[in-house]
Chain A
Amino acid sequence: MTSKESTSLTSEQLLDAYRSMKTIREFEERVNVEFTNGNIPGFVHLYTGQEAVAVGACIHLNDQDYISSTHRGHGHCIAKGCDVHGMMLEIMAKQGGLCAGKGGSMHIADMDKGMLGANAIVGGGPPITVGAAMTCKAKGQQQVSLCFTGDGGSNQGTTFEAMNLAVVLKLPVIFVFENNGYGEGTHASYAVGSPDIASRSEAFGMPAEKVDGTDFLAVEQAMKRAIDRARNGEGPSTIECDVVRFHGHFVGDAQLYRGENEIQDVRRKKDCLANFRRDLSNDIQQDEFEKIDSDVSDLIEGAVSNAMDAPPPLDSELETDVYVSYQ
């Protein structure tokens, strides 16, 4: 447990953080229901349980900073400020979706918010993030570029190469490894050969920290240190966050590979939202939390009913936007 005294965040920022985490939680739980009801096509991967990481990182970023994400990207989108209505429209394959219904759950992006895309290729994001950091460095305006990937992504060659390149070019990158214990149905204790991921990053020549990813204040402080270093031109860093995945790899995953009481145990002991409310109970009034909970509930309900009523993309959209121009 980390105390409020240790954070530089204001009470207002802490309430914003709670709102963002709660929005992710409610969004994901509703997506789970709507997918099961047949209202969402394709594959969805839920971020529930990892909210403190996305929000703990993005609370120190602004719209001019960049992030890249993964197949489990809804939380990163919300934390970076993507419109929840636009996200739900996208996930339900409707007109007005953030990607016009062409991308779906695994490809949500919003260039105006510096959100460079969820990504259906494990390890697809790190090199892109390094490229965005080149832009940041070239512009010289103290922007930074942050890459979310996981224990699975930590084993990809693209990730290794991206880390080395970021060090070589001394770029303002933060590599965030959300170690939720599983790459699909294979445990990180089997698939990640080194004792941890942070030590790999150190071997590439950058500072690396490990934090409890279910402790929001611990996460945001580690992120602040790494982001400040990047903004000050001191190069890349890694933050490895130990987190838990409340759901399966995808919605519908029977999760036979998990231990008997594992899921209920992690939900009981490692719930970053419950821990946030507990840790800050002396600083934030219960009714303030409850007001946010109510607002979020209305927001998600509105996003779902709006998306359910929206029409699908026009058939004429099939062949648009392949290129900017093509003559």
Chain B
Amino acid sequence: MPTTTIREAINQTLFQEMSRDENVIVMGEDVAGGAGAEGIDDAYGGVFGVTKGLMPEFGRERVIDTPISESAFVGAAAGAAMTGLRPVVDLMFVDFLGVCFDQLYNQAAKFRYMFGGKAKTPMVLRAMIGGGLRGAAQHSQTLHNMVTMVPGLKVVMPSNAYDAKGLLAQAVRDDDPVVYLEHKCLYDDACEVPDDEFLIDFGEANFTREGDDVTVVALSAAVKTANAVADQLASKGVSVEVVDPRTTSPLDEEAILESVENTGRLVIIDEAPPRCSVARDIAAIVADKGFSDLRAPIKTVTCPHTPVPFAPNLEDLYLPSEARLAAAINEVLEQSK
């Protein structure tokens, strides 16, 4: 089977979902590009080309370029979703969440509950996360911590093209608001992906490496780091199990607890500052529900409690690395009872 990149997998899924259901629309800044200009249409297809080709196929009525007005178009997506459409909104950089957060966490996330279960808001908010491109403090964040803590939102963080496709199809068909976070350094990562439609349920972790000595929980781009470290340590006789929860809300607690029950050791790697984070949340869940299985303290490998720096040497230090993960794994092995 030929391989497919994450960019292609997302693009293909949007094509399929828009073909399947006429209520699915795509909206955001430059999702096509060139609106009102003299040059070619669909000039961008999203700033990283992820939505390229949708507008020529489905037209500007369903692939809607918006002004730079995040509050308006994210809120409009919530309103459209509540009344029958299924918008897939492109926020572009997740950092822009700050501009429109009210519409997401006070509006879209709460309609269902506030209105006594009488409303549904089937929208998907796509956004790019992550450092590595030297985008500095306002274009490099991974704000999954901020959305995961909001009851009413589901949060998806695919780490490979197969998951990207199955999870996005599920997100579009899901009746709740879903935040779908794409790591900007993963777009060209490829693997085998079936052409036909398929769904991956939320809240079901994927074991990307199986092992007995240490459990590593990793999300999004950090799964790549964890797999690489697991492969390196395997040659040294250390057996690492890598658990990719794939969605942080809902979270597959059971898979993580089962793995820790087997290994007795847990390291969590997460590209985000540590405070009030998914990494610490998972650590707390395991300390609460799996304490008797633990043979060593839980370790987290995260970013420091700082904004993302611009200088490449500082950003490289900021991001969780293979070396830091390997060191943390060695530490829990040494500290084991």
Interface residues of A (CB under 8 A from B): 41-43, 93-94, 99, 101-107, 119-124, 152-153, 155-158, 182-193, 254-260, 262, 312-313, 315, 317-319, 322
Contacts and interface: CB of A to CB of B under 8 A. Distances in A.
Contacts of B29: 183-184, 186
A191 B310 contact: no
Contacts of B35: 186-187, 190-191
B39 A256 contact: yes
B71 interface: yes
Contact of B95 (A121, A185, A319): A121
A315 B37 CA distance: 45
Contacts of A153: 68
Contacts of A158: 99
Contacts of A122: 68
Given A121-B99, A186-B37, 14 more contacts: A42-B310, A93-B310, A102-B311, A119-B138, A120-B138, A156-B99, A182-B37, A185-B43, A186-B35, A191-B36, A191-B65, A256-B43, A259-B39, A313-B314
A101 B39 contact: no
A258 B312 CA distance: 33
A259 B139 CA distance: 29
B120 to A, nearest CB: 26
Contacts of A99: 310
A218 B30 CA distance: 33
Given A123-B68, A156-B68, A156-B69, A258 B39 contact: yes
Given A42-B136, A120-B139, A186-B29, A319 B306 contact: yes
A99 B136 CA distance: 12
A183 B36 CA distance: 11
B311 A93 contact: yes
Contacts of B135: 42-43, 120
Given A42-B133, A258-B37, A183 B67 contact: yes
Interface of B: 29-30, 33-40, 43-44, 47, 65-72, 95-96, 98-99, 133-139, 304-307, 309-314, 317-318
19 contacts: A42-B134, A93-B312, A93-B313, A101-B311, A104-B134, A104-B311, A120-B138, A121-B96, A121-B138, A124-B138, A157-B69, A186-B30, A186-B67, A187-B34, A190-B65, A256-B34, A257-B39, A312-B312, A318-B317
Nearest to B71: A157
Which DSSP category, helix, strand, loop or mixed, fits chain A's interface?
Answer: loop
Nearest to A43: B135
Contacts of B136: 42, 102-107, 120
A74 B327 CA distance: 42
B37 A259 contact: yes
B10 to A, nearest CB: 20
A105 B69 CA distance: 23
Contacts of B40: 256-257
A257 B43 contact: yes
B137 A107 contact: yes
A101 B314 contact: yes
A298 B98 CA distance: 42
